[in-house]
Amino acid sequence: MINNSLKSENIKIPGTNHYFGNADLSLFSQAGAFGMWKAWYRAGLEEVTATYDLLIRDMPDNRNFLVFTGLEEVLTDLLNWKFTDDDIERLIQAKLIDEEMAQKLKIFKFEGDVLAMKEGSVFFPGEPVMRLTGPLWQLELLYLYIVNAISSNTIFSSKCVRSILVAQGKIVVLPTTRAQGFESGFKCMRSLYIVGGSPSSSQLAFWRKYGLTLPKKILNALTHAFIKSFDSELEAMRSFTHTFSDDEAVILVDTYNFKNGVNNFITVAKELKEKGGKIAMMYIDSGNLVQRSKYARKELDKNGLHDIKILLSGNIEEKMIEKMLKSGAMCDGFLVVTELISSPDAPKLEVVYKLAEIQKGQDIRPVMKLSKGKKSYPAKKQVFRLRDEQGIMVEDVIGLENEKINGQLLLEEFVSNGKLINYLPPLEEIRSYCKKEIDGLPSYLKILRKSKNYPVNYSEALSKLSAETEKKMH
């Protein structure tokens, strides 16, 4: 019920910024992480050096491989992590730190090393995608953020690539509609771009944020709302193409009667063609998309409009794309929205961040977890990828970091002693690298249905160290 006694001049807009930004990072940790630091500090273990592995424990039921994304985001935030006076005061009030610890937070700077796979790399469960070495307390404070950032990005890229694989070179377009938040929408569009898709050119903020060059022409979609705002569909189409006549307009044809919509589209397209203009695309987002695309293509070609493309939409996902193309759908691209941006078939990843090694001075102690179904492996590790003569992936081996194993080393050093030492490529380069990774997949992994597992094995030396370490655990 509205309180009519309130005067409008006394009603103020809340000042909360609902975007997640740098100011929120430092307290994006579980209280328990600060609590452990406090206990380590009092036990004299604060200066201990630790190594953590970040990996995916299990492959989702609907995936044959995963695509690693989110590295640039994590490294950027990691190297800019700071604690404000307000952050520190809140931690003191919560009794999670004391005054001596507060002094350390005032000058906080990540002091460790980070090895990681390149963004756009294909990987599999059990393989460390990141390896962090540094002060034990620092790495524990970063746990929650790193797991969240890698999880969300990798979920999106591993979903998006499936549509790219089955689209047979046709464009896959994604707007940010129905995303689970602004940040989620942008991350999904970035992931789609990396795996070869086409983020909507109309989302200018995305292109600016990631430093991408805008397409030469921004496509403008005539929506149902625009059509319904005019007295007739034909009038609406004429008005829209009068404004966007130079291969810029994407016109919906199914607001009312589909066949009438196609006829109106053709009428306007032929009028525009006579004046030297052109409509970019016909857009169909309801009904039997296979039948409607065939009908539309036939009518367009019959009227000499061969170069006008057809875009299909309507809760489309990769299995629908595969089925429609097998059924002969006549289209040039797909607009994927809800099903892709929410990844309902595999909405979660078992991302884990496990302690693998403790170093006190010159004493190095490998550590591991022995819980049933959640076993982790000890020590600093490397992932080695073996390929055949054609560059196709054959086997991955997880081994100790200094082992001499033939194959490509997947973990590269990006941060040393808190300083970025490796190149972070722009999105165009990540996209090119990811394409090579996808091209290098064996064919049995490129299908949508669950296939046999790709071989990921542990080296003899790592297996031996694991057995020795397990005997010492108590």
Tokens found for residue 339: 């099903």
| Least confident interval from 25-39, 57-71, 117-131, 247-261 | 25-39
Q: How confident is the model at residue 390 (pLDDT cuts 50, 70, 90)?
A: very high
> pLDDT at position 192, please?
93
User: With 70 as the cut, is the pLDDT of residue 372 above it?
Assistant: yes
Tokens found for residue 375: 């076993």
> pLDDT at position 142, please?
93
What is the percent of the chain where pLDDT is above 90? 75
> pLDDT at position 202, please?
74
| Least confident interval from 9-18, 405-414, 417-426 | 9-18
User: With 80 as the cut, is the pLDDT of residue 474 above it?
Assistant: no
> pLDDT at position 204, please?
84
Q: How far apart are the first and last CA of the chain?
A: 62
Calpha distance 354→368 (Å, rounded): 8
User: With 80 as the cut, is the pLDDT of residue 13 above it?
Assistant: no
> pLDDT at position 185, please?
85
> pLDDT at position 3, please?
59
Calpha distance 70→386 (Å, rounded): 25
> pLDDT at position 8, please?
63
| Least confident interval from 29-43, 44-58, 113-127, 244-258 | 29-43
Mean pLDDT for 421-440 is 96
Q: Which residue in this structure is represented by tokens 């607009």?
A: 335
> pLDDT at position 224, please?
93
Q: Higher confidence at residue 419 or residue 222?
A: 419
**Structural domains of the chain, ranges and CATH numbers in brackets:** 22-157+349-472 (3.20.140.10), 167-341 (3.20.20.70)
Q: Taking a C-beta distance cutoff of 8 angstroms, is the pair 386, 440 a contact?
A: no
Calpha distance 124→130 (Å, rounded): 13
Q: CA quadruple 208, 438, 315, 299: dihedral positive or negative? A: positive
Query: Does residue 393 sit in helix, strand or coil?
Result: strand
pLDDT in tens, 273-307: 999 999 999 999 999 999 999 999 999 999 999 99
Q: How confident is the model at residue 176 (pLDDT cuts 50, 70, 90)?
A: confident
Angle at 337 between CA 333 and CA 338, to 5 degrees: 145
> pLDDT at position 199, please?
82
Calpha distance 393→38 (Å, rounded): 46
Q: Higher confidence at residue 222 or residue 138?
A: 138
pLDDT in tens, 50-74: 999 999 999 999 999 999 999 999 9
User: With 70 as the cut, is the pLDDT of residue 443 above it?
Assistant: yes
> pLDDT at position 44, please?
84
pLDDT in tens, 448-458: 999 999 999 99
pLDDT in tens, 135-164: 999 999 999 999 999 999 999 999 999 999
Residue 135's contacts (CB-CB under 8 Å, 6 or more residues apart) are 46, 47, 48, 49, 50, 111, 112
Q: Which residue in this structure is represented by tokens 């099903």?
A: 339
> pLDDT at position 416, please?
98
Calpha distance 298→306 (Å, rounded): 9
| Least confident interval from 43-52, 209-218, 298-307 | 209-218
Q: CA quadruple 165, 194, 19, 73: dihedral positive or negative? A: positive
Q: How confident is the model at residue 20 (pLDDT cuts 50, 70, 90)?
A: confident
pLDDT in tens, 86-145: 999 999 999 999 999 999 999 999 999 999 999 999 999 999 999 999 999 999 999 999
Nearest residue to 254 via CA among 231, 287, 295: 287
